[in-house]
Amino acid sequence: MGILQTKLSDKLKEALKAVMPIIGIVLLLSFSIAPIPPSILLLFLFGAVLLVVGMMFFTLGAELSMTPMGEKIGTKMAKIPHISLILFLCFTLGFVITVSEPDLQVLAEQVPAIPNHILILAVAGGVGLFLVVAMLRMLFSRALAVLLFLFYSIVFILTYFIPQDFITVAFDSGGVTTGPMTVPFIMALGIGFAAVRSDRHAEEDSFGLVALCSVGPILAVLLLGLLYHPEDTGYIPEKIPEIRNSVELWRCFAGGFPKYIREIALSLLPITVFFAVFQVVSLRLNKRTLCKILIGIFYTYLGFVFNWGKCGLYAGR
């Protein structure tokens, strides 16, 4: 417990260093050239506090769970003799880790032209497919630059057939692969996969996974644009409520917590179930390591729940 408390303290300092400059800039602007209503300022400050707490728990949770999970699963997968099974597991992993990404839920809400579940499944499928491509590149040691040039050429060609407003949605979807869940897991997966290889290019081939996986969502959403022919890709932001006192401020956030708690639990369920099955079938980690990962998953969950405070930062727009 003492080690966890020390790590929590370190992560709190990291979160403060990351958020305080943003808070300082917003406060400087709000009291000078860009005045904002008191309601928005209160939402922003309260949301910033929740965000700091959320980042503290999440970064510790990712360090304790997502990174070791990715490394151990990647190492175990590299020892599987059947390449078809490896590729199937890669696709499944890419799919479930993307579904677990909260940023994808936010993106889906902002694209009314396409049903939420269709967009989420398409983006997750794109990441899964290109994680397979990335693993094939590692297996056969192919040049990353050539693959990026090829796939982005296809992306730019497709943009000529998509409505202009929808192109931005497609490229924004690539940001899902730079989310807080996807990056540590995919990078750790690549490192674990490459660790089994003994050649001199193994280490450098473990990089570039995120770059390749970012192409998948862009292509997937562009193809959806061809199928759905969206005409209205804009989204109407929710009206920011007027906050007159501290009780109304708390109610503003508390009203969204129950829904957010359920959404985060459902988001983390696929990757948790996948890990549990992999643990029973193949990994068989010792109790100490397994407990550490489970604690990390719990911290990750807490971090995402407290990151509901991001809504307060969005009010600062």
Q: Render pLDDT for 284-296 as a digit per residue (tens, 0 to 9).
A: 888 888 888 888 8
Is the residue at 167 inside a domain? yes
Owning domain of residue 197:
2-231+248-315
Tens of pLDDT along 221-235? Answer: 888 888 776 555 555
Is the residue at 239 inside a domain? no
In the three-class reduction of DSSP (H, G, I as helix; E, B as strand; rest coil), residue 69 is classed as helix
Q: What is the DSSP letter of 172?
A: H
pTM, two decimals, is 0.78
Helices (H), ranges, 174-286: 182-196, 202-205, 209-213, 215-228, 246-254, 257-278
| 236, pLDDT greater than 60 | no
Please count the residues of the chain: 317
Tens of pLDDT along 160-194? Answer: 888 777 788 888 888 776 777 777 778 777 777 77
The total domain count for the chain is 1
Is the residue at 198 inside a domain? yes
Is the residue at 260 inside a domain? yes
Is the residue at 238 inside a domain? no
Question: For the chain, how far is it from start to end, CA to CA, in angstroms?
Answer: 40
Q: How many CA atoms lie within 13 A of 133 on its CB side?
A: 22
Is the residue at 270 inside a domain? yes
Cα distance between residue 130 and residue 126, in whole Å: 6
At residue 17's C-alpha, the angle toward residues 110 and 69, to 5°, is 65
| Kind plus residue range of the DSSP H or E element containing 292 | helix 287-306
Tens of pLDDT along 82-126? Answer: 888 888 888 988 888 888 777 777 777 777 777 778 888 888 899
